Amino acid sequence: MQEMGCGTFWALASKQENRPILARAGAASRIIRALVKHIHVEDVVLRALGTLRTLSSEMEVRQDLVALEAPQHVAQAMAMHRDNPAVQRDGCAFLSNSAVDVERQQVAVATKAEIEAIVEAMSHHQNDPSVLSGATFALKNYSFMEKNIRTLLSCHDAVKLLDYTMKNCTDTNGRDDAVIVLERIQTCFTDDENLEDTVYRSMMESVELNPHSSSGVNQVFHTMKEYDWSSRIVAGGLDAIQTLLHRSPSHKNKVRGEILITLMSMMSRHEDSAAVQLRGCALLAIMAGSEEKCRHTIRDANGLLVIVRAMRNHMNNVDVQVAATSALKVLSVEFDCWFELERSGNTGIVTEAMGAHPGSFQLQENGTQILTRFSSFAAEIGIAT
pLDDT tens-digit profile of 151-180? 898 888 999 999 999 999 999 999 999 999
Secondary structure of the chain in HEC code, one letter for each residue: CHHHHHHHHHHHHCCHHHHHHHHHCCHHHHHHHHHHHCCCCHHHHHHHHHHHHHHCCCHHHHHHHHHCCHHHHHHHHHHHCCCCHHHHHHHHHHHHHHHEECCCCEECCCCHHHHHHHHHHHHHCCCCHHHHHHHHHHHHHHCCCHHHHHHHHCCCCHHHHHHHHHHHCCCHHHHHHHHHHHHHHHHHHHHHHHHHHHHHHHHHHHHHHCCCCCCHHHHHHHHHHHCCCCHHHHHHHHHHHHHHHHHCHHHHHHHCCHHHHHHHHHHHHCCCCHHHHHHHHHHHHHHHCCCHHHHHHHHHCCHHHHHHHHHHHCCCCHHHHHHHHHHHHHHCCCHHHHHHHHHCCCCHHHHHHHHHCCCCHHHHHHHHHHHHHHHHHHHHHHHHC
Q: What distance in Å separates the CA atoms of residue 34 and residue 38, rounded to the nearest whole number? A: 6
pLDDT of residue 103: 62
Average pLDDT, rounded, for the chain: 89
Predicted confidence (pLDDT) per residue in 181-212, tens digit: 999 998 887 777 788 888 888 888 888 877 66
Asked whether the beta carbons of 329 and 370 are under 8 A apart, the reply is yes
pLDDT of residue 173: 96
Q: What is the mean predicted confidence (pLDDT) over 294-316?
A: 94
Predicted confidence (pLDDT) per residue in 89-131, tens digit: 999 999 998 887 656 667 888 899 999 999 999 999 999 999 9
pLDDT of residue 9: 67
Residue 250's pLDDT band, with cuts at 50, 70 and 90, is: confident
Asked whether the beta carbons of 89 and 131 are under 8 A apart, the reply is yes
Q: What is the mean predicted confidence (pLDDT) over 259-273?
A: 92
pLDDT of residue 26: 82
Domains of the chain and CATH, by start: 2-189 (1.25.10.10), 212-384 (1.25.10.10)
Give, in order, the Cα–Cα distances in Å from 64 to each of 22, 60, 67, 72: 11, 7, 5, 14
Predicted confidence (pLDDT) per residue in 325-353, tens digit: 999 999 999 898 888 888 888 889 999 99
Q: What percent of the chain has pLDDT over 70?
A: 96
Predicted TM-score of the model (pTM): 0.64
